[in-house]
Amino acid sequence: MLSKLRNRLILSHVLPSLIFIPLMGVALMVVIETQQVIPSLSRDLSRDARLLANLTRNQSAIWSDPEFAQAALGDLGLGQFERTMLLDSSGRLLASTDPADFQRLNQLIAVADLEMVQGGQESIRTRFSQSLQGEVVDVLAPVLNDTNSVIGVIRLTYHYNTVYDEFVRVRYWVAGILILGLALNAVLGSYLAIDIGSPIQRVSVAIAEFTAGEHKEPMKAYGPEEIRALYQSANNLFERLQEAERARKLLLANLIHELGRPLGALQSAIVAIRQGAHKDTQFLNELLDGMREETVRLQRLLDDLSHIQDQVLGVMELEKKEVDFREWFTQILLSWEQKAKQKGIRWEVSLDPEIERVCIDPVRLGQSLGNLLSNAIKYTPPGGKVEVSCGIQGEMFWINVGDNGPGIPEDEQEKIFEPFYRGQRRRRFEDGVGLGLGIARDFVIAHGGAIDLKSAPGFGSQFKISLPREAVTNSVN
């Protein structure tokens, strides 16, 4: 039962009330009874006794004649007390409101604290009365004459059980109110627990449905701030997972496409060789060159996928070393220059003689530059031009790759660096897995640099790699 959060929330709301409210009720009743009711009753009786003493102090006949005392006691109308007695200074009973005491009139009776009262002090005592069969509050007040001599004693007795019975009824009322409060607290606690537990349960159900493959629309957040934050986090999770799923499907489709072409070309070349193409040396060399190009394409695809894995695992590392810039740069450009010329594209290169040696990861930065050159050649039409240049400007060392291809719309210029993004059909990035530019930027950023793009539809594109000038280890200023 307690395994559910809702039940635990209900218990957390109700259990403290079940424990503390009854305890507080009992403590309240005890405090009222011991600190308020009994002291208040004793004070009232003491006040009434003193009042009677003052009324009778100047009536000496009351304290000498029992018949007169009994008549006077009846005239006073003291029915609110359980018993009222008038005693002379020696303790002889002169009058009483209790008919059971009439046989003891004019007799000495045993009264506790009589000596103290005969000395002029007041006595208040709670005791059990055999005759009244219950707890009583006894008050003895001395009656003083003008010379402050004790001429008599007034005894007021109040049946405590009468007060107790009233107090028991008060306890029932208090208990009923406490029970009602506990019931309302349980209802309110349950409502609050459900109000908190329902949105959490809704999120958990949505996550379970999403993991089961059901498409989830963004959930509307409601409830406390923490719950709304949970909804937002769940919505962000759903969105990212859906994006990851779309990217996975796109990657799979692109991989099938990209692997299918070179594998198909290799298979066709193998079939041709088996059917006798090896007898024609020139044809055989053409087949072998084509097979080599397809294996290079496959290797480049594997390199891209390897980088994606490194990026996910967070193990991107560079192996920087000093290299001869002209030699490295020329070697990178050589194979791409041949591809450009085969396509009928003009190839222009401008080297800055001030750059002699650079400290880079030649493989990683070479892959970045190769991806930019590959795109430039792929999307530049025959008769177009690809320009490659490098130089030093301010605190940066830069390499620029430009083409006069179809260009890139402004709203796509940032997206093309995202993995698997290939742009609009019939413009750029129609083919391929969509990893090249993102990988190029990652490697440049790892070198402490950046890639900037300037492009417009119909005016070609300019990709500029910028690296910190300290990468140039030996330059002429």
* Average pLDDT estimate for 291-317: 65
Asked if pLDDT for residue 447 goes beyond 70, the answer is yes
Phi, psi of 368 (to 5 degrees): -60, -50
* Average pLDDT estimate for 291-315: 65
pLDDT at 388: 93
Contact in structure between 156 and 84 (CB atoms under 8 Å): yes
- Co-location of 51 and 10 in the same domain: yes
Report the C-alpha gap between 309 and 298 in whole angstroms: 17
Torsion of CA 199, 205, 210, 214, to 10 degrees: -110
Asked if pLDDT for residue 250 goes beyond 50, the answer is yes
- Co-location of 122 and 259 in the same domain: no
CB atoms under 10 Å from CB of 333, counted, come to 18
pLDDT at 56: 81
pLDDT digits over 384-431, tens only? Answer: 999 999 988 888 889 999 998 888 888 777 777 765 555 554 444 344
Tokens of 160: 């405590």
Separation in Å, CA 28 to CA 25, 40, 160, 227: 5, 16, 20, 39
Task: Give CA angle at 35 (29, 41), nearest 5°.
Answer: 105
Q: Of 313, 330, 365, which residue constitutes the final position of a domain?
A: 313
Is 214 among the domain residues? no
Asked if pLDDT for residue 60 goes beyond 80, the answer is no
pLDDT at 1: 44
Report the C-alpha gap between 475 and 356 in whole angstroms: 6
- Co-location of 305 and 327 in the same domain: no
Half-sphere exposure of 361 (CA within 13 A, CB side): 18
pLDDT at 476: 40
Higher pLDDT pick, 201 / 215: 201
Asked if pLDDT for residue 16 goes beyond 50, the answer is yes
Which domain range does residue 89 map to?
Answer: 5-166
pTM value surpassing 0.85: no
- Co-location of 303 and 438 in the same domain: no
- Give per-residue burial for 182-209: e unless 16+ CB within 10 Å, then b: beebeeebbeebeebbebbebbeebeee
- Co-location of 351 and 297 in the same domain: no
Asked if pLDDT for residue 446 goes beyond 50, the answer is yes
- Co-location of 261 and 353 in the same domain: no
pLDDT at 477: 39
Is 209 among the domain residues? no
* Average pLDDT estimate for 259-284: 76
Q: What percent of the chain has pLDDT over 70?
A: 72
pLDDT at 180: 81
Is 30 among the domain residues? yes
Report the C-alpha gap between 308 and 302 in whole angstroms: 10
Is 216 among the domain residues? no
- Model confidence at 475, pLDDT cuts 50, 70, 90, reads very low
- Co-location of 369 and 413 in the same domain: yes
CA nearest 268: which of 251, 281, 283?
A: 283
- Co-location of 345 and 448 in the same domain: yes
Domain count, the chain: 3
Asked if pLDDT for residue 306 goes beyond 70, the answer is no
pLDDT at 194: 67
Query: Out of 34-43, 85-94, 195-204, which region has the weakest mean confidence (pLDDT)?
Result: 34-43
pLDDT digits over 178-191, tens only? Answer: 788 777 777 777 77
- Model confidence at 295, pLDDT cuts 50, 70, 90, reads confident
Is 189 among the domain residues? no
Separation in Å, CA 252 to CA 258, 432, 438: 10, 12, 18
- Co-location of 383 and 269 in the same domain: no
- Model confidence at 374, pLDDT cuts 50, 70, 90, reads confident
- Co-location of 337 and 304 in the same domain: no
CA nearest 129: which of 157, 92, 166?
A: 157
* Average pLDDT estimate for 277-297: 77
Asked if pLDDT for residue 44 goes beyond 50, the answer is yes
Is 292 among the domain residues? yes
Is 176 among the domain residues? no
pLDDT at 438: 75
Query: Out of 133-142, 167-176, 315-324, 325-334, which region has the weakest mean confidence (pLDDT)?
Result: 167-176
Is 201 among the domain residues? no
pLDDT at 458: 82
Q: Of 119, 137, 166, which residue constitutes the final position of a domain?
A: 166
Q: Of 279, 313, 347, which residue constitutes the final position of a domain?
A: 313
pLDDT digits over 62-104, tens only? Answer: 888 888 888 887 777 665 566 888 888 888 888 888 888 888 8
- Model confidence at 313, pLDDT cuts 50, 70, 90, reads very low
Task: Give the β-pairing of 346-350 and 150-159.
Answer: unpaired
- Co-location of 31 and 94 in the same domain: yes
CATH number at residue 457: 3.30.565.10
Higher pLDDT pick, 89 / 2: 89
Contact in structure between 67 and 73 (CB atoms under 8 Å): no
Helix H segments across 212-280?
225-274
Beta bridge partners of 455: 461
Average pLDDT, the chain: 76
- Co-location of 33 and 87 in the same domain: yes
pLDDT at 387: 93
Contact in structure between 111 and 140 (CB atoms under 8 Å): yes
